Amino acid sequence: ESATRKKKTICNSALRLVFALITIMFAIAIPQLSNIISLIGALACTSLCFIFPCIIHLATFWNCTSDETRLTQFEIRKDFLIIIFATISSMSGFYVSISQIYNDYH
């Protein structure tokens, strides 16, 4: 069992080293890494924080027939409003990030 644990430790250390090297390569290859991070944040964060939870909520309770779990009109409208607002916010963040990247390289 000690050999198995040692192998696991070596694999974990190697994986950490690979991730660190990938991060260093990105930092060297992309001088304005903050722009890429803001682009990813504009797309991923709004999706993960706002859009996906509302979609999952709607998908989970859409066809429920029980009075306790059935979606009310308020909940449906609220979820769609959040999805619309988050989509607009994500698109505007995407546009700002892309324009900033374009301005930095031209």
Segments making up each domain of the chain, as ranges: 1-30, 32-105
Structure confidence at residue 13 as a pLDDT band (50, 70, 90): very high
Look up the pTM and report it: 0.69
Q: How far apart are CA 53 and CA 64, in angstroms?
A: 18
The pLDDT assigned to 33 comes to 79
8 A C-beta contact, residue 101 and residue 39: yes
For the chain, percent of residues with pLDDT exceeding 90: 60
Question: Across the chain, what does the average pLDDT equal?
Answer: 91
The pLDDT assigned to 80 comes to 98
The pLDDT assigned to 10 comes to 94
Phi-psi domain of 66 (left: phi exceeds 0; alpha: psi -120 through 50; beta: other): beta
How deeply is 58 buried, as exposed, middle or buried, from its count of CB atoms within 10 A (0-12, 13-18, 19+)?
A: middle
The pLDDT assigned to 9 comes to 92
Between 49-53, 63-67, 72-76, 88-92, the lowest mean confidence (pLDDT) is in 63-67
